[in-house]
Chain A
Amino acid sequence: MFLLFLKSLVWIFRPPFQFRLIANQMEEFGIRSLPVVLLTGAFTGMVFALQSYHGFHRFGAETLIGPAVSLSLTRELGPVLTGLMVAGRTGSAIAAEIGTMKVTEQIDALETLATNPIKYLVVPRILSGIIMLPILTVFAVGIGMLGGYVVSVYMMGANPTIYVKSSFDILYLEDITNGLIKAAFFGLVIALVGCYYGFYAKGGAKGVGQGTTKAVVVACMSILILDFFLSKILWGIII
């Protein structure tokens, strides 16, 4: 898989650039995943506000709900949950599509038509993943914070002005950018893992199915593991 990554890296910078393909993939990654991501973001923000209210209420620190929601969404929940949802949706679609192309000799056909499959199939997917995941994450975080606001203000009776102010005051620019950097890495991982299990699909429909399942599992695990190490590196947390 690392080899696939290196090869793709080489091809990303080599013309001709397949802009039309990248646009198609961005639609696949972005627009089609948006509803799922929005729904996830909204309910995560809501339930997080709900649960932290009960927690903070015990020692009278209700004003910390806003900051808790915004920090955790930007730094962790936004990128990670977006990554996991997209891994399930788009990662599986990538593995299934490329796997089908593999077992029906379409990849061979590409090669006989003098076209490099990595350039043609992998690079557009990786680029779209890297570009679209941060954008989706912005949406997820935005709607998540809105969800938190709605729950806190309308259900728990928090003061709207204080809630909003405290939510944004706590955030450093770094919280947002680092969250988005993580999201970009997750996009890369989703596309790369999907392509990898597609390319190594063997033996007909069953092989494609197995490859698809593996792609989702491996992508999700990698996101969770990578998240830990990226957080440690990006924020320089020393244990």
Chain B
Amino acid sequence: MIELKDIHISFGNHKVLDGVNLEVKKGESVVVIGRSGSGKTVLIKHIIGLLKPDYGEVWVDGIKVNELKEKELNQLRKKFGMLFQYAALFDSMTVGENVAFALMQNTRMKREAIEKRVKECLRMVGLEDVGHMNPAELSGGMKKRVGLARAIALQPEIILYDEPSTGLDPIMADAINNLIIELREKLNVTSVSITHDMVSAFKIADRVAMLYEGKIIETGSPEEIKSSPNPVVQQFIHGEAKGPIPSLE
């Protein structure tokens, strides 16, 4: 359903992705792990066409994303929901207006129908009563949950999660993980998540892929990754400073 073929991208002379290959099947939950600054966000932004590769191809549902015109790209994006690392809520709008945004912009739904859908989405993330609040009044965990509510408003088939649990306390992080699992089971969505939180990765993933030095160096089920012979993978999942990955640059 999603396929990244040999993606290369540099910013200035800093090569971030150096031939990434990744395939995600329909209904699958793939988690990309990697260090901070390894290019995980850059990778995920290619899937939804926010970034275009210098070289390589991005395919979603048989459509080549990196060559789409704006109009077709927006059509395709309606299939997607994306949760940003810091939620990226529109701070000039209330929480309710944030969740309603895609419905107002992209559908001809009536006011009441939109309000109903907004309530539904907020209920799904356990935040029914904050619709009238401003994003600035919310805690980090609440912002992420609102971000999630906004991402699912158009009933996407694919959800991209940029570090859904990073920066949250362990209990909130687990609540978010459960939400992700619930969404997949209830709505049968395909998802690509990126994280460096191993607990979360192993919990939500059908398949884990590790990004290292601009390439996917290993993919497999959580079990396969845990028992991987690759010392880079082992060092990362056990969070050790000593090993083939330099800890200080």
Contacts and interface: CB of A to CB of B under 8 A. Distances in A.
Interface of A: 97, 100-101, 104-106, 108-116
A110 to B, nearest CB: 8
B91 A113 contact: no
Nearest to B51: A108
B183 to A, nearest CB: 17
Interface of B: 45, 48, 50, 70, 74-75, 77-78, 80-82, 84-86, 88-92, 101-102, 105-106, 150
Given A114-B74, A116-B70, A105 B85 contact: yes
Contacts of B101: 113, 115
B40 to A, nearest CB: 14
Which 4 pairs show the lowest CB-CB distances between chains A and B? A105-B88, A114-B74, A109-B88, A112-B82
A108 to B, nearest CB: 5
A113 B105 contact: yes
Contacts of A100: 91
A97 to B, nearest CB: 8
Contact of A113 (B45, B75, B86, B106): B106
Contact of A116 (B74, B82, B90): B74
A203 B80 CA distance: 27
A113 B102 contact: yes
A100 B77 CA distance: 23
B84 A108 contact: yes
Contact of A106 (B70, B81, B88): B88
Contacts of A116: 70, 74
B93 to A, nearest CB: 10
Contacts of A114: 74-75, 77-78, 102, 105-106
Contacts of A97: 92
A81 B86 CA distance: 41
A108 B102 contact: no
Contacts of A104: 86, 88, 91
A216 B89 CA distance: 27
6 contacts: A101-B90, A104-B88, A106-B91, A111-B77, A112-B48, A114-B105
A113 B82 CA distance: 9
A100 B88 CA distance: 10
Given A114-B74, A115-B105, A108 B45 contact: yes
Contacts of A108: 45, 50, 84, 88
Given A109-B84, A112-B50, A114-B105, 20 more contacts: A97-B92, A100-B91, A104-B91, A105-B85, A106-B89, A108-B50, A109-B82, A109-B90, A112-B48, A112-B81, A112-B82, A113-B77, A113-B106, A113-B150, A114-B74, A114-B75, A114-B102, A115-B74, A115-B102, A116-B74
